[in-house]
Amino acid sequence: MTFQPNSPEARDVAYHIHSYTDARSHQEDGPLIIERGDGAYVIDSSGNRYLEGMAGLWSVGVGFNEPRLAAAAAKQMEKLPFYHTFGGRSHGPAIDLAEKLIRLAPVPMSKVFFTNSGSEANDSVLKLLWYRSNAMGKPQRKKIISRLRGYHGVTIASASMTGLPINHTSFDLPIANVLHTGCPHHYRDAHDGESEEDFATRLATELEEMIEAEGPETVMAFIAEPVMGAGGIVVPPETYWAKIQAVLRKYDILLVADEVICGFGRTGQMFGSQTFDMQPDVMVMSKQITSSYFPFSAFMINDKVFEPLADESNRIGVLGHGFTGAGHPTGAAIALENLKIIEERDLVANAAEVGAYLREHLNSFRDHPLVGEVRGVGLLAAMELVLDKQEKTAAEKPGQLGKYAADRLFAHGVISRPMVDALAFCPPMIVNRADIDGLIGALRKSLDETAKAFDIAV
């Protein structure tokens, strides 16, 4: 593609390297430039309007032009634009937000630690849990178990916990002491004829066998999303979490709930841990905490985690970890206002109600020749695309079918995201039924056009 000299597209190609992008292809294709937001919609530099079916990056709960968040940011900027939390310093927004989060927690939590992104938060959790093991005189207890297809970020440690090959290949990852057990996706990973109940039992058994093989005295924690996000919006079988947690309790292994996508209403309850009756020791939060109006994240820990950390910091004289922008007053002020909006407008209930409406209409496509599975919970959903329903196979090149369908959906005004050959849907929590009707109409056209392109009769 030829770009106009000095155009935004040409300058982007000249100066900008993009996340999760083929850098060589980007030099040819150039960027899509989004100029402004309007509720659940965004508008590009050519004036095209799209329903943001992914809420940006699973994250803009209250929409793309909420004036109350802009006002909260401006007010805090005028009063105290920045201060840190090192050396016992603090400020009102961080204190208020820490208290708010502890009060929102679905299980007893003790303290909040602030970071700047989900990746940083998960990286910090692993680091502090290693610190905790040393504090408890158990230096051998350093292993953490994650899951295949789980997503926990992109720093060296968090990418190691992520269970996706693209985040490991050519990065020399994963690091030592990070293990991966099975993914709870019944459609893809169950044995022939295996019920969801039996599948959940097998996964729990495999986890226990891994713990025994590694040595229970070496395993400190298990980290998981209540519902897998970037791994394909994988909703676990009904008994999965009860069985997994029974194994963790048996061996006194900590549970870290990665709520970065699920938190603050996305699953139809305030936290995914509530939706699946999880009892975590650590809860990691980001994305919808500020609706991504500001880079911000946090994690909560219970007393079981906090007390050894406190003792060790006292022994050494300091807890030698932290970030300049952690607990940033502007970010904290935005988060507090964002949480007020979520509560005042009952967006958690809206996510449950409109999410059920979305899944109902997605399920109406089950007979379409391209649709292998529809799955979801709350305002999270995915449609698995196949060319052969019996074999559950798509095109020869993984992801080719999903990308084509997502491109057609984009042409019809809906931004989705292909996760290999599954289309993901995670719109802002302010969406209504009319927005979903528009999404479904665009999806119908896109599926039919995709079927035609792959010589599948509709």
Spatial separation of the C-alpha atoms in residues 182 and 125, rounded to whole Å: 22
- Mean pLDDT of the region 2-30: 96
Spatial separation of the C-alpha atoms in residues 393 and 53, rounded to whole Å: 25
- Mean pLDDT of the region 297-314: 98
Residue 124: per-residue pLDDT: 98
Domain ranges of the chain: 32-62+347-453, 69-344
Quick check: pTM over 0.95?
yes
**Cα→Cα distances 91→80, 121, 146, Å:** 9, 21, 35
Residue 353: per-residue pLDDT: 98
Q: What pLDDT band is residue 2 in, cutting at 50, 70 and 90?
A: confident
Residue 442: per-residue pLDDT: 98
Q: What tens digit of pLDDT does each residue of 188-233 get? A: 999 999 999 999 999 999 999 999 999 999 999 999 999 999 999 9
- Give residues with Cβ within 8 angstroms of 374, minimum separation 6: 359, 362, 363, 365, 366, 381, 382, 383, 384
Phi, psi for 137 (deg, rounded to 5): 70, 30
Of all helices (H) and strands (E), which one includes residue 52? strand 49-52
CATH of 69-344, one of 3.40.50.2300, 3.90.1170.40, 3.40.640.10, 3.30.360.10: 3.40.640.10
Give the number of other CB atoms < 10 A from CB of residue 111: 16
Residue 168: per-residue pLDDT: 98
Q: Is the pLDDT of residue 115 over 90?
A: yes
The residue written with tokens 């009319």 in the block is 434
Residue 254: per-residue pLDDT: 99
Give the number of other CB atoms < 10 A from CB of residue 35: 11
CATH of 32-62+347-453, one of 3.30.470.30, 3.90.1150.10, 3.40.720.10, 3.20.20.70: 3.90.1150.10
Q: How far apart are the first and last CA of the chain?
A: 34
CA geometry: angle 370, 371, 372, nearest 5 deg: 115
Q: Is the pLDDT of residue 414 over 90?
A: yes
In this structure, the strands spanning 282-285 and 254-258 are: parallel
